[in-house]
Amino acid sequence: DAGVIQSPRHEVTEMGQEVTLRCKPISGHDYLFWYRQTMMRGLELLIYFNNNVPIDDSGMPEDRFSAKMPNASFSTLKIQPSEPRDSAVYFCASSSNREETQYFGPGTRLLVL
Amino acid sequence: AQKVTQAQTEISVVEKEDVTLDCVYETRDTTYYLFWYKQPPSGELVFLIRRNSFDEQNEISGRYSWNFQKSTSSFNFTITASQVVDSAVYFCALSELSNDMRFGAGTRLTVKP
């Protein structure tokens, strides 16, 4: 079975541009998580969904960030407008239950110039 | 409040040495789950183990072993006869019924030939 799929793997953009990160969770997993990893703050949970519904978005840093899950096999994390401080690795993870093991995608390395 | 503490920021060993990575957690829940993930230089997060709070048996998987002690709130990870391929950042994580998963800051392990 395929693992969590993320695209793009790398993204370089200029400040002010819109960035969209994509994630396909493992089939059958009801939970989907978006994390951000930086040297300064480590791994931070941004938002998670259960059955396509956002449950906790308290980790989303600002209104510039938004996430959607239109169906069970696809989610997006959008940053508009992007800023240099958004540069980080963004991971998507999925699990069958909230306490079960989260399986991570390969991450999207974002650089905002 | 800090939930997961990995006091060792960096560890360096020579190949074939044994090494233990420490993890101390904090929770008020009686039911919780502990995890270890490996992040090699390629960047992905690889699941290693999940342990629930009711199972204190130590686990061994090849050269890897885990020591879970509720009395000291610790879940330490030992690599026996380390190899260069073990070089990575290792994260300990805690999942509680009442809270989202929390990751420690990670321990960077370097195994020198």
B91 and chain A in contact, CB less than 8 A = yes
What pLDDT is attached to residue B100?
Answer: 83
In the predicted model, what is the mean pLDDT of residues A90-105? 94
B107-112 vs B88-96, strand pairing mode: antiparallel
What pLDDT is attached to residue A52?
Answer: 95
Among partner residues B37, B44, B47, which is closest to A107 by beta-carbon distance? B44
Give me the percent of chain B exceeding a pLDDT of 90: 85
What pLDDT is attached to residue B2?
Answer: 57
Q: Share the mean pLDDT of chain A.
A: 95
B96-108 pLDDT, tens digit each = 887 788 999 999 9
Is B100 in contact with A91 (Cβ distance < 8 A)? no
Closest chain B CA to residue A93: B45
Q: Measuring CA to CA, which residue among A29, A33, A25 is closest to residue B101?
A: A33
CB-CB neighbors (< 8 A) of B100 in chain A: 45, 48, 56
d(CA B81, CA B58): 18
Copy the structure tokens of residue B57. Answer: 């048996």
Q: Any idea which residue has 């989260």 for tokens?
A: A102
For B72, the 3-state DSSP assignment is helix
Q: In degrees rounded to 5, what are phi and psi of residue B78?
A: -120, 135
Is residue A107 over pLDDT 60?
Answer: yes
Which of B101, B103, B107, B108 to probe by mutation at the A interface, max A CB count within 10 Å? Answer: B101
Closest chain B CA to residue A99: B95
Minimal C-alpha gap between B18 and chain A (Å): 26
The lowest-confidence range among A11-15, A46-50, A55-59, B33-37 is A55-59
What pLDDT is attached to residue B69?
Answer: 94
Amino acid at A13: T
What pLDDT is attached to residue A54?
Answer: 95
Distance of CA B88 to the CA centre of its chain: 12
What pLDDT is attached to residue A34?
Answer: 97
pLDDT tier, A1 (very low <50, low <70, confident <90, very high otherwise): low
Closest chain A CA to residue B44: A106
User: Dihedral of CA A61/A15/A104/B26: which sign?
Assistant: negative
d(CA B16, CA B111): 9
Cβ-in-10-Å burial (0-12, 13-18, 19+) of B77 comes to buried
Is A101 in contact with B50 (Cβ distance < 8 A)? yes
